[in-house]
Amino acid sequence: MSAAGRPTGAVPRRSPAREHTGTRDPRAGRYARDIVRLHERLSYRRLPVEMTGEPLSVVEDPHGALVTVTGRDSQFPARYLKGMLGFRLAQYLRLNWISADAVHRAAAFHEPLPRPRAVENIHTVTLCTRTGKIRGYVGLACSADPENLPLDCAGRIPFPTEAAHGVDLLGRYAGPGLGTHQAYEFKRFLRDQTMPRGEQYLRVPWHLILGMGEAVLGLGEAVRIVLGDAKEHVALRHLRLVGFDLHVVEGTSPALAESDPMAPIYRQTVVAKPFVAPVPTDVVWYQRVVRSYLDGTSDLASWQAVITTLAARSRRTAHRRPAQEGARG
């Protein structure tokens, strides 16, 4: 922390400290609480109109008092990008999924800013239109490869999920015209932990899935594969409901180095499973169902009816889908 008592930077990608991050200095606990309170006070009311260029997606929802915008790294002014990365950090501190000790040592108030790369990350953020507060976030993280390499290239840089779980998720989809710059990692599917349960609470995950899905659809061939790790009854459920034919790898033992600020995320009782899937060819159908319910034009009368409709379509599509030719385990 600076002499003035303000946080001064972003948490490092790899902390140099080697001690076990589970032992928390009382100062780290106080710092973590300060960071959480800081981000609870921030408002992003003007974010949708201050983005550079047209957003990849905008989902307006007057019924839920929510608006969701999706854009690339470069489309968000620096202060808003830091704010979104700060929201991610604050939520992970609340959930004990990031080391408070590492955050305190780095005097961090947001996750690391993206490094310049050949392709950009994609961010979807849901805001409350009454307060301007962030209510949800999900990201699609790009490949670190400087060049667009074949998915089965031995020299490609593994995505973080692959490194943590010790698996190759992309090789099974290798084929002509498909490279690592068209693969994105699904990350930080988060709803504000302070939200009271209610209609807005229920709408936020669907806003995130819809915003992300519409952006992916608009980008066409630029996004072909989605991978990541998630829990069975959270993100995996939502992705299946909007048509993703997930290949899930069971039985992995994910871990990060003790020096990694994110090491606590793999010390939970229920551990996320690695998955990969091509972008569904019929994703637009699922988006229309969700969007029509959010904007009040749907014939469906409840979220349960929406989920039932999506699940029925997903099951029918799975039965008709041919086996992936040439797939490798």
Q: Look at residue 240 and tell me whether its pLDDT is greater than 90.
A: yes
Whether residue 290 has pLDDT greater than 50: yes
| pLDDT tens digits, 136-187 | 999 999 999 999 999 999 999 999 999 999 999 999 999 999 999 999 999 9
Nearest to 138 by CA among 126, 127, 148, 153: 126
Q: Where are the beta strands (DSSP E) in 197-317?
A: 225-230, 247-248, 273-278
Q: Which tens digits make up the pLDDT trace of 265-282?
A: 999 888 899 999 999 988
DSSP-derived 3-state class of residue 285: helix
Report the C-alpha gap between 182 and 176 in whole angstroms. Answer: 12
Q: Is the pLDDT of residue 326 over 60?
A: no
pLDDT at 317 over 90: no
Specify the DSSP element, H or E, that contains 126: strand 122-128
Of 22-36, 44-58, 214-228, 257-271, the range with the lowest mean pLDDT is 22-36
Residue with tokens 């704010």: 83
Q: Tell whether the model's pLDDT for residue 9 goes beyond 60.
A: no
CA 283, CA 245: separation in Å to the nearest integer?
A: 11
- Residue 319 pLDDT grade (very low, low, confident, very high; cuts 50, 70, 90): low
Tokens of residue 205, six digits: 């995950």
What is the per-residue pLDDT for 268?
Answer: 86
**Cα gap 53→38, rounded to integer Å:** 29
CA-nearest of 137, 207, 154, 151 to 184 is 151
- Chain centroid to Cα 155, Å, comes to 26
pLDDT cut 90: percent of the chain above it: 81
Query: What's the pLDDT at 25?
Result: 83
pTM score, whole prediction: 0.88
> Could you give the C-alpha distances from 57 to 14, 131, 138, in angstroms and in order?
33, 21, 13
Residue 320: band (very low, low, confident or very high) from pLDDT cuts 50, 70, 90:
low
Confidence of residue 321 (pLDDT cuts 50, 70, 90): low
Does pLDDT of 15 surpass 50? no
> What's the rounded mean pLDDT across residues 295-312?
93
